[in-house]
């Protein structure tokens, strides 16, 4: 009999009333891109389980790496004035992969903490340059940058900010670069990008560049709805910010490690950040890990400032954790051995074709993909792009129907995200999209049965 945990825990990110009825799905074991629940039903995990498990769900080398490291130095040792071979090797590889030559890594335990660290270091950087008043951060509507108070404050998703954002935090919000919903009639994607970057220029002008420390952005906004920016958006934005001495922070928690067909999303979208946050696929989901990567220039200033202050007053108990570092190191080794970028690039055309084929489905308004991340956006009226009423819960219904087909996906409102493990085989990719189409057809049938 399936066990549930509702007597003991409060589940985040879920409608509590729905859970009372359905309970959470209890996962028992995995095999490649498939997971099996406690009732014995097997599902294709089309989301890498929250954008994480790039190597799927039973990679034996990761299990061995963890076991061997625990046998060697136990379950923990501090990174404060200590180090360990696993984290040293990991840092070396990570910095070598980074698009910021001669940069450095600083470890954390999660994406949220890597983002927090990035903001602290942006402040420290400006303080080191004699401009401690540069504190404001530019973020974007629909952005998601974590669940700590700072993450919520930077978030542009109402449910994440709502009760949790720090009051008057000095965060400025720019438009999300979503052409499908934000583009004006007759506007090209490039004109749209110019308009958005122009709005940010005006915002900087109005606030005063001297009050702004940094802008944080995901190359592809994940939780905000898998939003792919126009090609010219980031190169122009980066040039604008650089001209004002505003740091550009790339949140690569979802985009990092091959997801877009490049090692990092910033490389796929044409910009060089000053810092990046990474987590999730860094260890194929094993925790605790996250890291902030710094450019050589940022590092130099931050280091000098920390020396001046006598200490870098920042650090998490589990950062540089030997066991997670060993697992992350093994993950990066596997990526290199499997020639990850070549693999993603080989699969990407089929992935894009599958997503593109759904664009003609009567419920799909927009279908988009890069590398192995994509989405279909469901609309009530394709001609006018009119969305469904939120109360229809169409996205939630679609993923419930996908589950019936043996496919796990995630809905972000009425946008259905697709982010399979990077080890997915071509035939499994076909299966994913066969099941998604079946779910869409089933949803069409249920909607047709209800008078609109």
Query: What is the spatial distance between Cα 298 and Cα 200, in angstroms, rounded to a whole number?
Result: 23
Least separation in angstroms between residue 223's CB and ligand PMP is 5
Least separation in angstroms between residue 130's CB and ligand PMP is 30
Query: What is the spatial distance between Cα 415 and Cα 365, in angstroms, rounded to a whole number?
Result: 10
Binding residue for ligand PMP, selected from 79, 125, 144, 233, defined by CB under 6 A: 144
146 contacts ligand PMP (rule: CB under 6 A): yes
Interface mask toward ligand PMP for 250-279; x: CB under 6 A: -x-xx------------------------x
Alpha-carbon Rg for the chain in angstroms? 22
User: Where does this chain touch ligand PMP (CB under 6 A) — which range of 141-149, 201-209, 340-348, 376-384?
Assistant: 141-149
User: Where does this chain touch ligand PMP (CB under 6 A) — which range of 144-152, 174-182, 241-249, 419-427?
Assistant: 144-152
Task: Considering the complex, state which of residue 218 and residue 274 has its C-beta at the smaller distance from ligand PMP.
Answer: 218
CB atoms within 10 A of CB 307: 11
Binding residue for ligand PMP, selected from 218, 262, 366, 377, defined by CB under 6 A: 218
User: In the range 379-408, which residues lie near ligand PMP by CB under 6 A?
Assistant: none
User: In the range 299-328, which residues lie near ligand PMP by CB under 6 A?
Assistant: none
Query: What is the spatial distance between Cα 153 and Cα 157, in angstroms, rounded to a whole number?
Result: 10
- Residue 4 near residue 26, CB atoms below 8 Å: yes
- Cα 136 to chain centroid distance, Å, stands at 23
414 contacts ligand PMP (rule: CB under 6 A): no
Contacts of 129 (CB under 8 A, 6+ apart): 301
Query: What is the spatial distance between Cα 280 and Cα 276, in angstroms, rounded to a whole number?
Result: 13
Least separation in angstroms between residue 148's CB and ligand PMP is 7
SS3 per-residue string spanning 142-177: CCCCCCCHHHHHHCCCHHHHCCCCCCCCCEEEECCC
Task: Considering the complex, state which of residue 147 and residue 434 has its C-beta at the smaller distance from ligand PMP.
Answer: 147
DSSP-derived secondary structure for 245-305:
T-EEEEE-TTTTTTTTSSSSHHHHTT---SEEEE-GGGTTT-SS-EEEEE-HHHHHHHHHH
Q: Beta partners for 250?
A: 217, 276
Give how many residues touch ligand PMP by CB under 6 A: 15
**β-pairing, 136-140 with 212-217?**
parallel
Least separation in angstroms between residue 172's CB and ligand PMP is 18
155 contacts ligand PMP (rule: CB under 6 A): no
Interface mask toward ligand PMP for 222-251; x: CB under 6 A: xx---------------------------x
- Cα 247 to chain centroid distance, Å, stands at 20
Torsion sign across C-alpha atoms 185, 187, 189, 195? negative
145 contacts ligand PMP (rule: CB under 6 A): yes
Least separation in angstroms between residue 31's CB and ligand PMP is 25
215 contacts ligand PMP (rule: CB under 6 A): no
What separation in angstroms does the CA of 343 have from each of 30, 118, 264, 348, 371?
22, 31, 15, 8, 10
Least separation in angstroms between residue 285's CB and ligand PMP is 10
Binding residue for ligand PMP, selected from 112, 250, 283, 411, defined by CB under 6 A: 112
Task: Considering the complex, state which of residue 217 and residue 332 has its C-beta at the smaller distance from ligand PMP.
Answer: 217
User: Where does this chain touch ligand PMP (CB under 6 A) — which range of 118-126, 216-224, 385-393, 429-437?
Assistant: 216-224
Q: How many degrees, rounded to 5, is the angle at CA 131 between CA 119 and CA 241?
A: 60
User: Where does this chain touch ligand PMP (CB under 6 A) — which range of 58-66, 109-117, 182-190, 382-390?
Assistant: 109-117
Task: Considering the complex, state which of residue 165 and residue 439 has its C-beta at the smaller distance from ligand PMP.
Answer: 165
Task: Considering the complex, state which of residue 226 and residue 401 has its C-beta at the smaller distance from ligand PMP.
Answer: 226
Least separation in angstroms between residue 286's CB and ligand PMP is 12
Burial of 36 per CB tally in 10 Å (0-12, 13-18, 19+)? middle
Q: Which residue is nearest to ligand PMP (CB)?
A: 111
Binding residue for ligand PMP, selected from 48, 49, 98, 110, defined by CB under 6 A: 110
Task: Please give the span between the terminal C-alpha atoms of the chain, in angstroms, as a whole number.
Answer: 40
Least separation in angstroms between residue 248's CB and ligand PMP is 15
Token representation of residue 248:
């550009």
The site for ligand PMP (CB under 6 A) is made up of: 110-112, 115, 144-147, 218, 222-223, 251, 253-254, 279
């Amino acid at each position: 009999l399936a066990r549930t945990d509702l007597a003991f825990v409060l589940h985040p990110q879920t409608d509590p009333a729905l859970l009372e009825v359905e309970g959470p799905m209890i996962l028992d074991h995995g095999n490649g891109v498939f997971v099996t629940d406690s009732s014995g039903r097997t599902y294709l995990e089309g989301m890498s389980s929250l954008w994480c498990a790039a190597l799927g769900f039973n990679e034996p080398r990761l299990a061995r790496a963890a076991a061997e490291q625990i046998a060697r130095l136990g379950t923990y040792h501090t990174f404060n004035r200590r180090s360990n071979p696993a984290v040293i090797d990991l840092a070396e590889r990570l910095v070598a992969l980074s698009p910021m030559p001669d940069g450095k890594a600083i470890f954390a335990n999660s994406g949220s903490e890597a983002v927090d660290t990035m903001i602290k270091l942006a402040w420290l950087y400006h303080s080191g340059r004699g401009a401690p008043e540069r504190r404001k951060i530019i973020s974007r509507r629909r952005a998601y940058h974590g669940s700590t108070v700072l993450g919520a404050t930077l978030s542009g998703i109402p449910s994440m900010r709502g009760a949790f954002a720090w009051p008057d935090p000095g965060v400025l919000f720019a438009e999300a670069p979503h052409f499908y919903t934000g583009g004006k009639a007759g506007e090209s994607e490039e004109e749209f990008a110019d308009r958005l970057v122009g709005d940010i220029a005006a915002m900087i002008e109005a606030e005063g560049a001297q009050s702004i420390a940094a802008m944080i952005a995901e190359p592809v906004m994940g939780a905000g709805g898998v939003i792919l920016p126009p090609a010219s958006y980031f190169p122009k934005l980066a040039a604008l910010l650089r001209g004002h001495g505003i740091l550009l922070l790339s949140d690569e928690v979802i985009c990092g490690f091959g997801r877009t067909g490049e090692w990092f999303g910033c490389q796929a979208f044409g910009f060089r950040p000053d810092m990046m946050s990474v987590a999730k696929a860094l260890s194929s989901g094993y925790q605790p890990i996250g890291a902030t990567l710094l450019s050589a220039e940022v590092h130099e200033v931050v280091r000098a400032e920390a020396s001046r202050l006598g200490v870098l007053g920042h650090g998490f108990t589990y950062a540089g954790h030997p066991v997670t570092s060993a697992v992350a190191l093994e993950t990066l080794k596997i990526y290199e051995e499997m020639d990850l970028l070549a693999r993603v690039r080989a699969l990407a055309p089929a992935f894009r074709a599958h997503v593109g084929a759904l664009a003609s489905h009567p419920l799909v308004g927009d279908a988009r993909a890069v590398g192995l991340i994509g989405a279909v956006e469901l609309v009530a009226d394709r001609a006018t792009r009119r969305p469904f009423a939120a109360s229809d819960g169409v996205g939630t219904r679609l993923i419930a129907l996908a589950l019936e087909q043996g496919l796990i996906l995630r809905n972000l409102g009425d946008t259905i995200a697709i982010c399979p493990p990077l080890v997915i085989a071509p035939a499994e990719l076909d299966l994913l999209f066969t099941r998604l189409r079946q779910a869409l057809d089933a949803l069409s049938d249920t909607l047709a049965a209800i008078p609109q």
